Amino acid sequence: MTNLVLESEVLNNVLENKSISRQEIIDIYQNSIKNSNELFLTAQKLRITNKNYSVTFSKKAFFNIVNLCKDTCSYCTYKAEPGENKISLMSKQQIKELLHLAKKYKCVEALFVTGEQPEQKYSEARNWLKENGFKSTAEYLMHSSEIALELGLFPHTNAGNLNFEEMKELKKTNVSMGIMLENVSERLTKKGMPHYLAASKKPQTRLKVLENSGKLKIPMTTGILIGIGETIEEIIDSILAIKKIHKKYGNIQEIILQNFQPKPDTIMKDSPSANEEYFKKIVALSRIIMPEMNIQIPPNLSPRSYQSFLQVGINDWGGISPLTPDFVNPEFSWPEINKIEDDSKKQVLILNVDFQYTQNFFLL
């Protein structure tokens, strides 16, 4: 039998809900280099079977609580250094004001983002916490989450490697939390690689946070970053690692597949963006590996083509803000929600189906 015939058999097995091995996933990818039609078609069928014709999003406000960070990832433009114009150290008053504004804009989610444990490295962060009456960033987040909830917004915290106790406290107010796995590759943490200066991106550290979220039954968003010098095996292993945690705890609410875009003033500024065809294959493989999962791409990072990803397996646009920038990718503004809706519907017309929107919150 040829490789292509074997691939068809494996993809048919996936459609029949049969399990698939790591090697078979690698083979599907290798065959898709010549022709990706069957892979994309299977991913689309699985999306329709498991998610009907709906795509979800969450109307949010992005709270850039503190962007000092003790680590340095080679691609990051979010992190600020003391004295830089872009530094953000939100006061309690600023947080409250933005919460009120978010409410006016009918946002449902308050996304709280911070750099990695900034108080461990910067006196500026320690002083800022002290001025606001807190000892740690995590404590400040607990307070901010309480205020958000009181004002009728759902807090969703993404603050890097929080420990078990911090997560347990945050669970009391946060409807869900997030941490990007990025990739399970140790190789990407070695000298010259994107996570070399980021101890918090060690795969075992990140997996521990996901494990803890599972033990605490916290609905969790995680994901991988695509196009940072990884191999396809490393991508597949990363998706399989997320699948393993979800199988054990059932608490992964969605997987973000984020395509790398080079940023000025970063070590990786001259690296190419993730190739779109490669990115689509990874989206489709993710749907095949986890047919029932919510799979998301950020529409602002593929501004000209995001809607076409509906045909290769995604069912979620993630958080979109009518109010605040994407502080992690400030060069890429979010499209208007109306435009995303129109573009999605046009795409769906090709598929000849209806479309519906829901807010993307899941409580275990």
Judged by CB under 6 A, does residue 7 bind ligand SF4? Answer: no
**Taking phi first (over 0 means left), then psi (-120 to 50 degrees means alpha), and beta for anything else, what does residue 158 get?**
beta
Which SS3 state, helix, strand or coil, does residue 182 take?
A: strand
Q: Which of 14, 46, 55, 69 binds ligand SF4 (CB under 6 A)?
A: 69
Which SS3 state, helix, strand or coil, does residue 150 take?
A: helix
Cα dihedral 212, 215, 220, 222 sign: positive
Judged by CB under 6 A, does residue 268 bind ligand SF4? Answer: no
Task: Work out how close the CB of 37 gets to ligand SF4 at its nearest, in angstroms, rounded to a whole number.
Answer: 35
Residues contacting ligand SF4: total by CB under 6 A:
12
Radius of gyration of the chain (CA): 20
Pick the closer one to ligand SF4 by CB: 76 or 184. 76
Pick the closer one to ligand SF4 by CB: 206 or 287. 206
Task: Work out how close the CB of 284 gets to ligand SF4 at its nearest, in angstroms, rounded to a whole number.
Answer: 26
Q: Which of 79, 171, 246, 263 binds ligand SF4 (CB under 6 A)?
A: 79
Distance (Å, rounded) from C-alpha 363 to C-alpha 355? 23
Q: Which of 24, 71, 230, 326 binds ligand SF4 (CB under 6 A)?
A: 71
Of 194-253, binders to ligand SF4 (CB under 6 A) are: 198, 200
CB 284 within 8 A of CB 43: yes
Pick the closer one to ligand SF4 by CB: 118 or 291. 118
Distance (Å, rounded) from C-alpha 137 to C-alpha 159? 9
Phi, psi of 136 (to 5 degrees): -140, 160
Pick the closer one to ligand SF4 by CB: 78 or 279. 78
CB 131 within 8 A of CB 90: no
Task: Work out how close the CB of 72 gets to ligand SF4 at its nearest, in angstroms, rounded to a whole number.
Answer: 5
Judged by CB under 6 A, does residue 119 bind ligand SF4? Answer: no
Quickly tell me which residue has 């083509």 as its tokens: 305
Q: What angle do CA 147, 150, 154 make, to 5 degrees?
A: 85
State the maximum Cα–Cα separation within the chain, in Å, rounded to a whole number.
70
Pick the closer one to ligand SF4 by CB: 69 or 320. 69
Judged by CB under 6 A, does residue 73 bind ligand SF4? Answer: yes
Structure tokens of 20? Answer: 């698939």
Q: Which of 57, 89, 115, 252 binds ligand SF4 (CB under 6 A)?
A: 115
Q: Between the CA atoms of 38, 40, 45 and 47, what dihedral angle is there, to the nearest 10 degrees?
A: 160
CB 25 within 8 A of CB 284: no
Stretch that binds ligand SF4, among 66-74, 81-89, 123-131, 350-358 (CB under 6 A): 66-74
Pick the closer one to ligand SF4 by CB: 229 or 322. 229
Helices 3-15, 37-51: axis angle to 10 degrees equals: 0
Judged by CB under 6 A, does residue 116 bind ligand SF4? Answer: yes
Stretch that binds ligand SF4, among 3-11, 69-77, 287-295, 336-344 (CB under 6 A): 69-77
Binding pattern for the stretch 124-163 against ligand SF4, x by CB under 6 A and - elsewhere: ------------------------------------x---
DSSP β-bridge partners for residue 64: 113
Task: Work out how close the CB of 144 gets to ligand SF4 at its nearest, in angstroms, rounded to a whole number.
Answer: 18
The site for ligand SF4 (CB under 6 A) is made up of 69, 71-73, 76, 78-79, 115-116, 160, 198, 200
